[in-house]
Amino acid sequence: MSLTHSQIKARPAWVREAEALRLHVEKLCQGWPAEWVDVIHREWAKRRTVNAQASAAWGFGLVGQLRAAERAGVVHGDTDADLCRKAEAEARQMAGLLDAVSVRVARARASKPAEWVKRLTVRAQAWTVRNDLRRRGLEDHIPKAKHNTAGGIVSRARDPIFWRRILRGIHAKVMEGAAIGLGLVHAGRRGGCYVSAQSLKRRRGQRARNAEALARTVAVNERGEAETIANLAARGVANGAVRRAELMTRISGFELIANDLGHRATMVTVTCPSRMHKWRRGKVLDTPNPAYDGTLPNQAQAYLAKQWARFRTAAARAGLGLYGFRIAEPHHDGCPHWHMLMWFKPQTTKQADSSLALGLLLGRYFLSNDSPDEPGADTYRIKVEAIDPRKGSAVAYVAKYVAKNIDGMHVGADLYGNPALESSARVEAWASTWRIRQFQQIGGAPVTVWRELRRVHPGAVPMDAAQQLHDALMMVNVAGVDAVMGGPESEQDEAQRIRAGWAAYTMAQGGPTAKRKAHTLRMLRDQHGEANRYGELGAPRAAGVQATTFERVTVGICTFARPRRDEVESERSAWVTASVQPEDKGSIPRVVQRLTAVMQQRQGQIEQRQQERAARGEAARPWTRVNNCTPEPIGYSVHRTPKRGEVFKWAKVRGGGGSQPKELSDEQHENHPRAHRLPDMRHP
């Protein structure tokens, strides 16, 4: 029954005002879920009683955030299938726009050379793509890698996979940010702990799709071995159990080093200021934080990272020599905090107590820099706890933080009483949604080289190679050494070798506080020269380990140090993959047979190219991506393996899509103005 104008006018003013606000909110939030509209109206009305201007700013800010997502192409109710369809539509629309740009450039520059018009067209299309993404607030998704080209940007704009990645990321972050703003993320009865129910459901669906895709993708290598990608991934750090074991091994190795050097261990917890927390924890129930300024978890993570960078620089100047691990995990409302297990020397370079210097620096960069006088800041913002080795090891102290942020294994319940096996899934969804790195090493040697050493066969290392390479390999590659020299005497000896592997590798690299430029062992990478799906030169791939040392050389009566580099290849295989389609289900052997034929054909082509190179007197390039040749510079072509004092043959050609390799004849090369001699950097 509708009311007359006189009846509406006779109603109290506060009733008319509430009704007007309700209609206004419904108009702004048209098409959104009813529960979202109710929450926005309730919060808007509650804030309006205190401050009408602040209430309007809050409401329009939240609505504007969601409308920005709609401008980017996503809405709250989109499923993954909807996002995939929208990505295909974006690619088709962008392809039409780029084709129109190509036609206009061709008409406007019809009198110019074809190659010149082609390069101009690519640049104009790349500018169009950048401008379109910038207009829609997506400029952060423009690739900024070193080898990206204008042609690669244009190819990405035509690719539905590129748009699918953008739309999925926007949908995840914006919808979760709206859920936080609406108060749907907290440990209370009406909220979701760490992450909203919608984001948890989205992440579970994504993991299920990934698992299905990996399970029906078959790979075959050059030896004829066939495996599904799911089985291969289960052997690496993608497996939660393997990842947890590797982290605990590295932490145990740091503890062994600290015990030998007499370093102290301290557990530090730092969190964000109160203004970044949406909710306040109470003894009975949670209450919204009136000081919350709308900071999202990824912004809070950036704040902690910025303060950590300043703290780390000051700690290095003070000579603390920190090393250890950092673990990022969420509060119940999604705001991140950090747990840091750090070892350091008892005294700084200025002969001051390191514990006192550490506390002062933490207070300067994580407390005094932002709202130091807020209630509870001294108690909750920074917690420093020295670890007494007589009461327990640092590894046992941090094990629960590692487990509950991976798979919750061997952890009963989290801080809020939820089962750890369930809460770990929410933590993983939180980290995936906001792109937050959960674990990060502080100091020490790079883990990439350590992993690569486990791929090196001990028999491939020359006897006269650097001693650091031998020492690290003997302790890290336990399986390989056992295969050559026999297994350990007992299981206890094997366990001790595994625990000491990271410690031995770190000391071979110069110790836990050595700088990267002082590391002896580095990754050996091979520029394979293959292009990615967007026509750009791919990044160099890992091929092994190289050791850079100095050796003493005597020439006549003079003795001097000369750089020496030892390169050792790792054991790798080349794989070809194919997805098992529904019609091929139950016929995996046929897929394996087809892939084997493809691999044999590829091997035959590479062997043919090697024979042609050998006929021309050039070095035969291995058909796998592992070789011991000098890596090829990007955009250049090396015709044969350069020897001492030999001319290095290369040429660079500038074009519309970046530099392209070009082969020169011997006569052209001898007259090339930029030909030069390779420096003699090899050992005898």
Number of structural domains (the chain) is 4
* pLDDT given at position 657: 36
Looking at residue 60, its amino acid is: F
Confidence of residue 654 (pLDDT cuts 50, 70, 90): very low
Say whether 541 sits in a helix, a strand or coil. strand
Over range 155-169, report the average pLDDT: 92
Distance CA 507, CA 420 (A): 36
Q: Are 365 and 311 in contact (CB under 8 A)?
A: yes
Same domain, 160 and 285: no
Same domain, 357 and 437: yes
For 13-22, 605-614, 639-648, which range has the lowest pLDDT when averaged over its residues? 639-648
* pLDDT given at position 592: 67
* pLDDT given at position 679: 33
Say whether 568 sits in a helix, a strand or coil. strand
Same domain, 118 and 216: no
For 289-293, 311-315, 622-626, 662-666, which range has the lowest pLDDT when averaged over its residues? 622-626
For 595-604, 639-648, 660-669, which range has the lowest pLDDT when averaged over its residues? 639-648
For residue 68, tell me if it sits in a domain: no
Task: Identify the bridge partners of residue 553 per DSSP, sorted by sequence position.
Answer: 560
Is 397 a catalytic site residue? yes
Cα angle 108, 109, 111; round to 5: 130
Q: Are 466 and 549 in contact (CB under 8 A)?
A: yes
Tokens of residue 439, six digits: 């674990």
DSSP 64-86: HHHHHHHHHT--TT--HHHHHHH
Q: Are 21 and 44 in contact (CB under 8 A)?
A: yes
* pLDDT given at position 596: 72
Confidence of residue 215 (pLDDT cuts 50, 70, 90): confident
For residue 371, tell me if it sits in a domain: yes
Secondary structure string (H, E, C) spanning 444-483:
CCCHHHHHHHCCCCHHHCCCCCCHHHHHHHHHHCHHHHHH
Q: Give the pairing of strands 541-555 and 558-569.
A: antiparallel
* pLDDT given at position 479: 60
Range of 132-146, 387-401, 420-434, 471-485 with top mean pLDDT: 420-434
* pLDDT given at position 489: 52
- The pLDDT tens digits for 436-452 are 999 999 999 999 999 99
Same domain, 116 and 251: no
Write the CA distances from 341 to 268, 307, 323, 364, integer angstroms: 6, 17, 8, 19
DSSP 140-188: GGS---TT--HHHHHHHHT-HHHHHHHHHHHHHHHHHHHHHHTT--SSS
Confidence of residue 632 (pLDDT cuts 50, 70, 90): very low
Over range 604-623, report the average pLDDT: 60
For residue 300, tell me if it sits in a domain: yes
Q: CB neighbours of 519 closer than 8 A, spacing ≥ 6?
A: 445, 446, 449, 509, 510
Read off φ and ψ for residue 568, nearest 5 degrees. Answer: -130, 125
Over range 428-432, report the average pLDDT: 93
Confidence of residue 533 (pLDDT cuts 50, 70, 90): confident
* pLDDT given at position 64: 75
Q: Are 459 and 485 in contact (CB under 8 A)?
A: no
Q: Give the pairing of strands 226-228 and 336-344.
A: unpaired
Distance CA 483, CA 495 (A): 16
Distance CA 650, CA 672 (A): 9
Exposed, middle or buried by CB within 10 Å (0-12, 13-18, 19+), for 53? exposed
Same domain, 153 and 266: no
Q: Are 217 and 578 in contact (CB under 8 A)?
A: yes
Q: Are 183 and 43 in contact (CB under 8 A)?
A: yes
Single out the residue in 394, 419, 442 at which a domain terminates: 442
The sign one gets for the Cα dihedral 556, 560, 561, 563 is negative
* Mean model confidence pLDDT for the chain: 78
Query: Whose structure tokens read 């609406």?
Result: 182
Confidence of residue 416 (pLDDT cuts 50, 70, 90): confident
- The pLDDT tens digits for 178-190 are 888 888 898 877 7
Over range 551-578, report the average pLDDT: 82
Single out the residue in 442, 468, 484 at which a domain terminates: 442
Confidence of residue 4 (pLDDT cuts 50, 70, 90): low
* pLDDT given at position 7: 47
Same domain, 144 and 222: no
CA neighbours closer than 13 Å in the CB half-sphere of residue 524: 24
Same domain, 258 and 123: no
Say whether 87 sits in a helix, a strand or coil. helix
Task: Identify the bridge partners of residue 562 per DSSP, sorted by sequence position.
Answer: 551
Query: Which CATH number fits the domain that encloses residue 270?
Result: 3.30.70
Helix (H) or strand (E) holding 369: none
* pLDDT given at position 481: 55
- The pLDDT tens digits for 268-321 are 999 999 999 999 877 667 788 888 888 999 999 999 999 999 999 999 998 888
For 151-165, 565-579, 657-671, which range has the lowest pLDDT when averaged over its residues? 657-671
Is 636 a catalytic site residue? no
DSSP 604-621: HHHHHHHHHHHHTTPPPP
Catalytic site residue from 303, 323, 365, 401:
401
Domain that holds residue 677: 632-684
For residue 74, tell me if it sits in a domain: no
Confidence of residue 24 (pLDDT cuts 50, 70, 90): confident
DSSP 243-291: HHHHHHHHHHHHHHHHHHHT-EEEEEEEE--GGG-SEE--SS--EE-TT
Distance CA 467, CA 562 (A): 16
Residue with more model confidence, 607 or 679: 607
Confidence of residue 11 (pLDDT cuts 50, 70, 90): low
For residue 354, tell me if it sits in a domain: yes
- The pLDDT tens digits for 310-368 are 999 999 998 888 999 999 999 999 999 999 999 998 887 776 788 888 999 999 999 99
Over range 561-565, report the average pLDDT: 84
* pLDDT given at position 563: 84
Same domain, 155 and 224: no
* pLDDT given at position 249: 87
Same domain, 269 and 218: no
Same domain, 207 and 96: no
Write the CA distances from 7 to 1, 20, 655, integer angstroms: 12, 15, 77
b (16+ CB within 10 A) / e for 276-304: bbbbbbeeeebeebeebeebbbbbbbebb
Q: Are 440 and 340 in contact (CB under 8 A)?
A: no
pLDDT reading at 484 higher than 60 = no
For residue 422, tell me if it sits in a domain: yes
* pLDDT given at position 681: 31
Same domain, 268 and 380: yes
Residue with more model confidence, 139 or 676: 139
CA neighbours closer than 13 Å in the CB half-sphere of residue 159: 14
Exposed, middle or buried by CB within 10 Å (0-12, 13-18, 19+), for 646? exposed
Helix (H) or strand (E) holding 569: strand 558-569
For residue 245, tell me if it sits in a domain: yes
Same domain, 223 and 362: no
Over range 253-268, report the average pLDDT: 91
Say whether 442 sits in a helix, a strand or coil. strand
